[in-house]
Amino acid sequence: MASASSPAWRGAALLAAAIAMAPVLTCNALAAAPQVRTQAPGFYRMMLGDFEVTALLDGTHPFPVQQVLARQTGQAGGAAQVSLAEASPGEADALLAAAHLKAPVEGAINAFLINTGAKLVLIDSGAGALYGADGGHLLGNLRAAGYRPEQVDAVLLTHLHADHVGGVNLNGHMAFPNATVHVSQRDADYWLNPANRAAAPA
């Protein structure tokens, strides 16, 4: 018979202890985990020099790339941008097919929050309610990233397309109540011209 100090006896004792604990361990392993029911936040942070940049997802939208993609025609000075659908019918579809895509292409609507250490600057504002359920998630993701809309000091709009400016207005109120909104003079002059507004597609 093996002594209590022998390797064989110690092995048998460990095996007996493991068997005795098996029901307890099994019960713990089968405990139901609660459902979380929330998505991971739609933001991504990175450093750019001394600035912290947070990319914020507003949503995704099926874009008609044949109309969005453009080709330059003519020479410098007299050049014009023509949609790829007009400049070369079928080319956009061929390019998409080569990439295993077809129109419309689902594209992300993003904005970027820059924390300079002294100021919070938002680049673009997403689509807001202008794209229906496709957009309008920017404020929620801003909060998930640890900020509040009233902390934003400035909103810089790169250009005045709906998916860049729609998030400035929230149900008739400024979404970023303490921010100064900046727009290029060229865009402001164009869209404040009644003739240009009337000629724009609905």
What is the domain range of residue 121?
39-63+107-202
Indicate if 162 and 197 belong to the same structural domain: yes
Residues 6+ apart with CB under 8 A from 3: 9
Indicate if 111 and 149 belong to the same structural domain: yes
Give residue-wise pLDDT tens across range 74-99: 666 666 777 777 767 778 788 888 88
Q: What are phi and psi of 130, to 5 degrees?
A: -70, -25
Return the pLDDT at 3. 57
**Residue 133 counted as domain residue:** yes
Residues 6+ apart with CB under 8 A from 179: 122, 152, 153, 154, 155
Q: Give the model's confidence band at 167: pLDDT under 50 very low, under 70 low, under 90 confident, else very high.
A: very high
Indicate if 120 and 202 belong to the same structural domain: yes
Q: Which of 12-16, 22-26, 160-164 has the lowest mean pLDDT?
A: 22-26
Residue with the bigger pLDDT between 113 and 2: it is 113
**pTM (predicted TM-score):** 0.72
The number of distinct structural domains making up the chain is 2
Return the pLDDT at 118. 97
Instruction: Evaluate if residue 55 carries a pLDDT over 60.
Output: yes
